[in-house]
Amino acid sequence: MIQKFIPFERTEYDRRLAKTRAAMEDASLDVLFVTDPSNQNWLTAYDGWSFYVHQGVIVFPDRDPVWWGRRQDANGAVRTVWMEDDCVRGYADHFVQSTVRHPMQDLAAFLEDLGQGSARIGVEMDNYYFSAKAMQVLEAGLPNARFSNATALVNWQRAIKSDAELEFIRKAGGISQKIIEGLMERVEPGIPKNEIVAEIYRDAIRGTDGVWGDYPAIVPLLPSGSDAAAPHLTWDGREFASGEATFFEISGCYRRYHAPISRTIFLGTPDDTLRRAEAALVEGLEAGLEKARAGNRACDIANALAGPLERAGIERGARCGYPIGLSYPPDWGERTISLRAEDETVLEPGMTFHFMPGLWMTDWGMEITESICIREDGPPETFCDLPRKLIVKG
């Protein structure tokens, strides 16, 4: 008998399905086809590195979901999803990367067999994992169905975390803190970047306090000097150098839940420009955290951050945060709420964000960030306990 290790109790998945089905009803959907692997996991617990081929979860209003994917990956589905084995369907391998057939032909035939040939079907059209070709083939295979864009329908149901989810994020936060503390000790002039990244991964996967580490949805980001003007550069074999700042954006991960955090390390003596930027950034970070309270809006956090930066003559053209939680590559954000001046989403207890006021200037950059949870009362919980400052190693 196959032994399953489901992350949460069945009641947690029942709660998630109820929220999703209510959203489906509001959107007048009979069927929802979910391709985002984060949403698949959130609904069914499916966990496997198979999102490079077509797969998904089919959600119905009145029966258990069905995981659908490549036949060899169905072996992983029966071992990870909470549903019974008859809720796992695998398609033949001759569909995979074929030029004469497509997996969506199998999905269309399956939905037709289930009596959904004329259904109102929601699909995640603007998603990393759902292609234009997939949409084209699905429409051709179900000519009587009516398709709707259900992008982020499930994502929005994930915005408020359960107590069980928050425990997983706290565990991820403990790993994040261990990674940053290791960086503070190890980064020195003359050490190649790849050597430091190897230690990041060692800390991330070994975990902490009996908590094992999963792989994060984004690789470590650590540009130095003028390269730190670019927020998404990774690493190479060059050595850390005196007179340069390097920001490190990382996240611990536990059971696919993340708690990203960034800190900046300067080797040597920072100049006045960096010190003034540090002071404004920390003041703005603290002001934003003060506004991160239930009943306030996402834009209130962004506007609080903007004040000190504007007074210091620093212009930011980007949002300063996004929701976090359960994620797969290539992103640990949930792609719903944005901490920016235009977003008036009301903050509710249990919402979790990476408050990410990075500075990326013409020839330097700095990141000092926090992952947070909105509480019932008072300021937010932070998932790491690290000094909010530029870390200087002379």
Give residue-wise pLDDT tens across range 224-256.
999 999 999 999 999 999 999 999 999 999 999
How does the average pLDDT of the chain come out, rounded?
97
Tokens at residue 344, please? 């008036």
Virtual torsion, Cα 28, 30, 35, 36, nearest 10 deg: 40
Q: Percentage of the chain surpassing pLDDT 90?
A: 97
pLDDT at 1 over 80: no
Place of tokens 């150098």: 241
Query: Which residues sit opposite 208 in a β-bridge?
Result: 211
- Tens-digit pLDDT profile for residues 20-53: 999 999 999 999 999 999 999 999 999 999 999 9
**Distance linking the first and last C-alpha atoms of the chain:** 59
CA–CA distances in Å: residue 94 to residues 1, 34, 52:
29, 23, 16
Spatial contact of 279 and 389, defined as CB atoms under 8 Å apart: no
Query: Which residues sit opposite 245 in a β-bridge?
Result: 266
Query: Which residues sit opposite 224 in a β-bridge?
Result: 246
Rounded mean pLDDT of 103-122? 98
Q: Distance between CA 260 and CA 358 in Å, rounded?
A: 13
Select from 3.90.230.10, 3.50.50.60, 3.30.70.370, 3.40.50.1100 the CATH code of 163-393.
3.90.230.10
Rounded mean pLDDT of 90-113? 97
Rounded mean pLDDT of 213-222? 98
Give the pLDDT score at 3.
82
pLDDT at 310 over 90: yes
Q: Biggest alpha carbon distance in the chain?
A: 70
Give the pLDDT score at 342.
97
CATH 3.40.640.10, applies to 10-157: no
Q: Distance between CA 24 and CA 31 in Å, rounded?
A: 8
pLDDT at 5 over 90: no
- Tens-digit pLDDT profile for residues 163-188: 999 999 999 999 999 999 999 999 99
- Tens-digit pLDDT profile for residues 123-135: 999 999 999 999 9
Give the pLDDT score at 317.
82
Residue 2's pLDDT band (cuts 50, 70, 90): confident
Spatial contact of 127 and 291, defined as CB atoms under 8 Å apart: no
Q: Distance between CA 392 and CA 245 in Å, rounded?
A: 9
Element (H, E) at 278: helix 272-291
Verdict on whether the full-model pTM lies above 0.75: yes
Spatial contact of 248 and 180, defined as CB atoms under 8 Å apart: yes
Give the pLDDT score at 223.
98
Give the pLDDT score at 394.
80
Residue 383's pLDDT band (cuts 50, 70, 90): very high
- CB neighbour burial string for 15-34, b if at least 16 within 10 angstroms, e if fewer: ebbebbbebbeeeebbbbbb
Residue 368's pLDDT band (cuts 50, 70, 90): very high
Rounded mean pLDDT of 366-384? 98
Q: Where are the alpha helices (DSSP H) in 52-162?
A: 71-80, 103-113, 132-141, 153-157
Rounded mean pLDDT of 353-382? 97
Query: Which residues sit opposite 59 in a β-bridge?
Result: 32
Spatial contact of 68 and 89, defined as CB atoms under 8 Å apart: yes
Spatial contact of 57 and 65, defined as CB atoms under 8 Å apart: yes
- Tens-digit pLDDT profile for residues 320-350: 999 999 999 999 999 999 999 999 999 999 9
Closest CA to 80 of 43, 110, 124: 43
Q: Distance between CA 333 and CA 320 in Å, rounded?
A: 12
**CATH 3.40.350.10 placement within the chain:** 10-157
pLDDT at 119 over 90: yes
User: ∠ CA(280), CA(387), CA(191), 5° rounding?
Assistant: 100
**CATH 3.90.230.10 placement within the chain:** 163-393
